[in-house]
Amino acid sequence: MEGSVQAEGTVLEPLDFRKVWRDAMTFDQFVAQARPEHQALWQGIYRHATAPSWAVELLGDRTLHILAITEDWCMDTSNTIPFIQRVVEAVPGVDLRLILRDKNPDIMNRYLTNGSRSIPVLIILDGQFRELGRWGPRPADLQAWVLTNRPLLPRNEVVKEERRWYARDRGETTIRELLQSIRTSSPS
């Protein structure tokens, strides 16, 4: 709850992350509430996702809460969150909760990406629910590629390449970037 976020020149009241956390969904609850046409994709990616041993070792005995702003239809979310969930399952002091972007516009609007409501956004909180950092909406290299190629290629080609990229990467870059945000923050 420390500090306030500034959005478009306005100082906002701090978020009560403890309350947001209490109201948020676990990964299983999120997948269960997903539309049926998206559940199979989420379950399939999760089934094949693994927690890299290097990530588990780097997190060690930290106490962290990762709050994800998301929606079930988002390709970037379905290709990142299952890998984060696997890491969370492997590290006892780290947990994950999810909130829906469209049902939480007041929170989403604090975490815009270049003015857009892009998801996922992962908010990293310490053991006291203070914000340490954030990550999103997609790995930096992929984001650069998308921003460069979106105006040049048909949408279906961009989406196809994004899917290929995620399939080859298997969550590695997302996990590395997320851990970099955590490592640069003070331990809790």
pLDDT in tens, 59-69: 888 899 999 99
Under the banding of pLDDT at 50, 70 and 90, the label for residue 185 is low
The model carries a pTM of 0.87
Has residue 3 got a pLDDT over 60? no
Which own/partner contact pairs does 164-173 have at CB distance under 8 Å and 24+ positions apart? Answer: 166/75, 166/79, 166/80, 166/142, 169/139, 169/142, 170/49, 170/50, 170/83, 171/49, 171/79, 171/80, 171/82, 171/83, 171/84, 171/86, 172/52, 173/139, 173/140, 173/141, 173/142
pLDDT in tens, 108-152: 999 998 888 999 999 999 999 999 999 999 999 999 999 999 999
* Residues present in the chain in total: 188
Fold for domain 6-183?
A: Glutaredoxin (3.40.30)
pLDDT at 9: 57
- The percentage of residues in the chain with a pLDDT greater than 90, rounded to a whole number, is 81
Average pLDDT, the chain: 90
pLDDT at 4: 44
The ranges assigned to domains in the chain are: 6-183
